[in-house]
């Protein structure tokens, strides 16, 4: 799973950042990654500029994805 920052857009997830290639981030488990993103001043600019963003583990990187992560989200 990848350590990403995503926004729940209702019909889909929008992954706006993928930190999984960073050796430091790659070892973080879900709750630790979420707490770091929520509390660290290092991510303050992203939190402020991207309301509703959360740190999660996801099977894919940046892009707009169906809620079940099965494929890219394509608006109807």
Question: For residue range 22-33, what is the model confidence (pLDDT) as tens digits?
Answer: 998 988 999 999
Domain boundaries, the chain: 2-62
Per-residue model confidence (pLDDT) at position 19: 96
| pTM of the full structure | 0.93
Q: Which residues contact 63 (CB under 8 A, 6 or more apart)?
A: 14, 15, 72
Other Cβ atoms within 10 Å of 57 Cβ, number: 16
Q: How confident is the model at residue 76 (pLDDT cuts 50, 70, 90)?
A: confident
pLDDT, one tens digit per residue, over 13-66 is: 999 999 999 998 988 999 999 999 999 999 999 999 999 999 999 999 999 999
Q: How far apart are CA 49 and CA 28, in angstroms?
A: 24
> Tokens for 16?
């706006």
């Amino acid at each position: 799973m990848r350590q990403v920052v995503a926004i729940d857009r209702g019909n889909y997830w929008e992954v706006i950042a993928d930190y999984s290639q960073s050796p430091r981030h790659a070892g973080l488990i879900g709750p630790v990654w979420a707490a770091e993103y929520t509390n660290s001043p290092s991510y303050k600019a992203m939190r402020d500029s991207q309301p509703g963003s959360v740190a999660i583990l996801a099977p894919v990187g940046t892009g707009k994805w169906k809620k079940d992560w099965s494929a890219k989200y394509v608006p109807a």
